[in-house]
Structure 1
Amino acid sequence: MASSEVKGRHDVPSFVLLDTQSYITGRPNSTTATSKTSIDLPIEVTFCAAHPPDLSYLFIHCPGLEVEPTDLSLAPKIISADADLVLLRVPRDPMARMIPSHSDYFVYKLNPEQSKLYLLPNPYPECFSDNEIAILGYGNRFAVATIRMPLRDFSFMLHLYHSGPDGKPGSWTSQRVPVEEPQRDIVCPIPDSAQRLMYHLTTKVITLGGAKGTVGFVDLWRGILLCDLLEDSPKLRDMPLPLPAKGNWSKFLNSCPYYCRDIAVNQSKDTIKYVEMEITRPTKVTWIASTSDSDSYYEWLNHQKLPRSYSLVPGSWKMTTWSMPIPITSWDSWHRRCTIRSEDINLPSDNTRHYELLRKLMSSGGTEEEKATEATLSLGCLHMAYPTMSIADDDDVVYLLSKGTSIRSVEMGVAVDASTGTLQGVVKLDTKRHVGFMRCCIASGISKHLKTTGSCGNQQVGGGLCLNE
């Protein structure tokens, strides 16, 4: 469900939070592009825009994938994005599920006149993780790339695809690329407590662009490996991330980095933006009357049936944002921008929609006693994690995934301005579309390429406005 601000606005957002899971259905409009899969099935892709913190979507319709919309194991996956391009992975048939080697890769190009959908040659026998593939647009062509570390020496294998002009078919190439002057082991050595000892594991990609076509393969725990895809002999340059915050020292290289970190390139592509959170989760404490003085086993059993009392120990979080100018020079160029704590956030005190949604989130899914307790608490009673950085040119807005402490709690997207400590927006998310509390979107500037002379239609899906002529 969208917020009232989204429903009533016909302006196009400057950037969107693109859901990594698509809708398996047809919803054609002026953004629709068509093609065929590798087994000659027709396929169409449509973009549906929404204002952050609501999620935007891609609708993907393919007769060979006519399955239940909630079967997320078959939902085509949004991999990465750059400008007006989105890289997708689509299973070839229902039996293939989401095995990369059994999937087709497509590049969707949003064009105000006519959007295009390009099928890429499958990179088989290579099999890439969704987190490690970058896309770069340059001129009327595009490149897709990933790096894999060889097992026997300290270098990487660059797998690179260049399209022909206007997206015409190209081919995959592979070449070994060295890392020039590795820095991360000097700047931020791996502690003895670390369970993951790999030098680099790509967990996200960023596109810096420029004349050399620079992309960054990001290990969100350790650093960025920068690669100039348009150079004849590309090399990898190592750029460590800021040192881990104290609250994450024990978690460093021992847990999912998405939970507390994110990195992005702003739309002007002159700044890298980075955020780290230190999170203490809220915990529920339940207790019953003491049974230590029970005289018999049966009396002790009866005590087990007594109503349990409930209390909530609030959590908290601290968020720090950083920036680095592009072109990148040295690790010393990281600049701390601002720090904010959850207790410093200025919550709306009047009966606004944001306030009502937060109160619903705080009191969802529990007993009446739990609801009464949670409704009186602040952000400390919520799980808030998985930050996504805004890619606007000059702000410190961070989008968080949030839910209450109950298993049946609703999930919401919350926008926080870390520089001012203000709540920018709250929206309810469609929990049926995501399995578990986990990262579910990427920031993309694709909406800037929508045709704005038409009017917005009335089609509503997950809060998105499907733009029609």
Structure 2
Amino acid sequence: RESQSNSPRPCPSSPRRPRRPQPLERSMAWITTASFNPSSLTGPYVAGGAAAASPRSSAYPDWVLLRKTARISAFRNATTAEGRTAEGRAVEASFWLVDPPGVSYFSVHCPGLQEEPQVVCAEAAFVLFRVRFSFPSERRISTHHFVYTARGAAGPPSLQLLPEPPGVEAVKSHQLGLLPRGGERYAVAFLDRSWTARGDAWQWQFDAYVFSSETCSWSKKEASLGLSESDAALLRPYATSKQIVVGASALGWVDISRGITVLCDLFDERPVVKYIPFPATGVCIAPYYRLTRHSAQCFHDVACYDGLIKFVEIGSNEPDCMIKGKGWRATTWIRNISWRSWRKHTRVDVANISVDPRYSALLPELWNHETHKLELKKLVFLLPTLSVRNDDLLYIMAKVGGEHDKAWVIAVGMKSAVVEGLAPVSTGRYCPSTMFSPCAFPSYLNNMTQGNKSEEPLVGCDGGILEEEEIQAEHRIRGPDMGNPVVKYFKR
């Protein structure tokens, strides 16, 4: 294997049938870069393999694309933290981390747990997730929220049960938001809203419940409204899909189809509720698999970095861009919470995105025999995800065919219009629009004392724990000229 040439194979100069993927042991040779632009990504997923990537000197990635749905598993590693539910059940949470665009995941172990836990939100060193138990015979559901803290140099990771705010009958996960406070301190906000009569008029009333990790207690505050009539009207059919931090004392609850409800001055006696509508566009959000709430997530995403909000929209001049062969374009806007309007930032058309021809071994279906190029639009587009770093990378999930369980997460440089990396992921039975959450907490683990890595199960690039015979091959994760080896999915 060491004697194999690392030079890229030339792409076919005339139409021919795509070559059959090589057997695993013959197809896993590293290749060198030739004409690639240096990538801002790290790890083995970038075009050209490890040679094209920025070297990572730390044990964990700076940030990850985390699958929101956990695996129920007793596997442990150096990231494992332990806690207990309100009823005293032991809970263990572990994270299995790979560089983007590879997909990371987390696992939870708890006696009697049958429903897979879900990530609610993640900011800085913290991950807020939900664990839920169903008791059909008693006709009740027991829901518990935990905050995972990556302590880093201060000690091992920890897991804290979040008590329910007093006087609230049922806490819905999408009403919670997480705000880092520096070091190991954090706050959790629960935003409760109601349609209330005030004299002869009806208006929104927002109550903010704030939990402090320092006092381990909740406080309740009635928020004042900084809403115009048009903003208040947009809030009526509001459906929260994610939460973002938009300042040192401000949280945003995102309705991915309309805009962001922002709770400002969270720690003042009288917080203020504002609303930021998304840029007005001509894209018509149609129901996707009859799930109207999820359909917008197939075309929009929102992220915030250092107070700058980023919004992306996938648009198309054709009726349905979520069909193989249809064209689409991605447009990003940026906005600070103090600005009066959005500013258009970048735009790229799928027809202009350059895909290195060496990826033809991984995705021969993209090859155009007439132009002798790979065309990204031949994939079935699923959803966009914005980076949480100060860069212009957009991560898109796409499939070769809509019926396949295997998809690809593709990193696209919005300014360079170049595919900078891709990685396979198993979608299985999960709804693609709710799969991933960008998280920065792994960077806080890098100063932590490492355990015995040889005793930890290794994670595959599709989010599965590897069997022994797969480990050696997986250490040489595929570059664009490595064929299309099949990776076994996670075994329950």
| TM-score for the superposition, normalised by structure 1 | 0.74
Distance (Å, rounded) in 2 between the aligned partners of 1:15 and 1:450: 11
Match of 2:297 among 252, 258, 270: 258
1:410–1:431 CA contact under 8 A, matched in 2: yes
Q: Do structure 1's residue 177 and structure 2's residue 220 form an aligned pair?
A: no
Note the aligned Cα RMSD (angstroms).
3.7
Q: Do structure 1's residue 121 and structure 2's residue 163 form an aligned pair?
A: yes
2:10 alignment counterpart: none
Distance (Å, rounded) in 2 between the aligned partners of 1:20 and 1:283: 23
Matches within 5 A, 1:120-199: 120-123=162-165, 125-139=168-182, 140-152=184-196, 153-165=202-214, 169-171=216-218, 173-182=219-228, 184-185=230-231, 198=236
1:303 alignment counterpart: none
Q: Any idea what SS the aligned residue of 1:232 has?
A: coil
Matches within 5 A, 1:384-423: 384-393=381-390, 395-408=391-404, 410-423=406-419
Deviation at 1:55? 1.4
Q: Report the residue type matching 2:327 in the other structure.
A: S
1:193 alignment counterpart: none
1:91–1:98 CA contact under 8 A, matched in 2: no
Q: Any idea what SS the aligned residue of 2:129 has?
A: strand
Q: Report the residue type matching 1:116 in the other structure.
A: S
Distance (Å, rounded) in 1 between the aligned partners of 2:252 and 2:460: 31
Quick one: structure 1 residues 129 and 276, their matched pair in 2 at CA, closer, same or farther if it must change by over 3 Å?
A: farther
Q: Any idea what SS the aligned residue of 2:329 has?
A: strand
Distance (Å, rounded) in 2 between the aligned partners of 1:24 and 1:46: 10
Q: Do structure 1's residue 77 and structure 2's residue 118 form an aligned pair?
A: yes
Q: Report the residue type matching 1:340 in the other structure.
A: V
Structure 1 spans left out of the alignment, 5+ residues: 68-73, 191-196, 285-312, 364-370
Deviation at 1:93? 5.2
Deviation at 1:106? 0.7
Quick one: structure 1 residues 323 and 355, their matched pair in 2 at CA, closer, same or farther if it must change by over 3 Å?
A: farther
Distance (Å, rounded) in 1 between the aligned partners of 2:117 and 2:322: 36
Match of 1:443 among 430, 438, 447: 438
Q: Percent identity?
A: 24
2:5 alignment counterpart: none
Distance (Å, rounded) in 2 between the aligned partners of 1:97 and 1:323: 49
Distance (Å, rounded) in 2 between the aligned partners of 1:97 and 1:143: 34
2:33 alignment counterpart: none
1:17 alignment counterpart: 65
Deviation at 1:60? 1.2
Match of 1:329 among 338, 355, 366: 338
2:45–2:421 CA contact under 8 A, matched in 1: no
CA offsets 1:252-302 (integer angstroms, 9 cap, x no match): x96622111111111xx1311111111454688xxxxxxxxxxxxxxxxxx
Q: Any idea what SS the aligned residue of 1:272 has?
A: strand
Distance (Å, rounded) in 1 between the aligned partners of 2:351 and 2:266: 44
Q: Report the residue type matching 2:256 in the other structure.
A: L
Matches within 5 A, 1:2-13: 4-5=44-45, 11=58, 12-13=60-61
Q: Any idea what SS the aligned residue of 2:388 has?
A: coil
1:296 alignment counterpart: none
Q: Give the aligned length.
A: 397
| TM-score for the superposition, normalised by structure 2 | 0.71
Q: Any idea what SS the aligned residue of 2:335 has?
A: strand
Deviation at 1:10? 6.3
Distance (Å, rounded) in 1 between the aligned partners of 2:453 and 2:45: 15
1:149–1:156 CA contact under 8 A, matched in 2: yes
Q: Report the residue type matching 1:316 in the other structure.
A: G
Q: Do structure 1's residue 109 and structure 2's residue 109 form an aligned pair?
A: no
Quick one: structure 1 residues 282 and 451, their matched pair in 2 at CA, closer, same or farther if it must change by over 3 Å?
A: closer
Distance (Å, rounded) in 1 between the aligned partners of 2:398 and 2:75: 29
Q: Any idea what SS the aligned residue of 1:264 has?
A: strand
1:22–1:57 CA contact under 8 A, matched in 2: yes
Deviation at 1:216? 1.0
1:221 alignment counterpart: 257
Q: Report the residue type matching 1:330 in the other structure.
A: W
Q: Do structure 1's residue 208 and structure 2's residue 246 form an aligned pair?
A: yes
Q: Report the residue type matching 1:233 in the other structure.
A: R
1:429 alignment counterpart: 425
Q: Any idea what SS the aligned residue of 1:230 has?
A: coil
Distance (Å, rounded) in 2 between the aligned partners of 1:426 and 1:389: 15
Distance (Å, rounded) in 1 between the aligned partners of 2:68 and 2:412: 21
Q: Report the residue type matching 2:173 in the other structure.
A: D
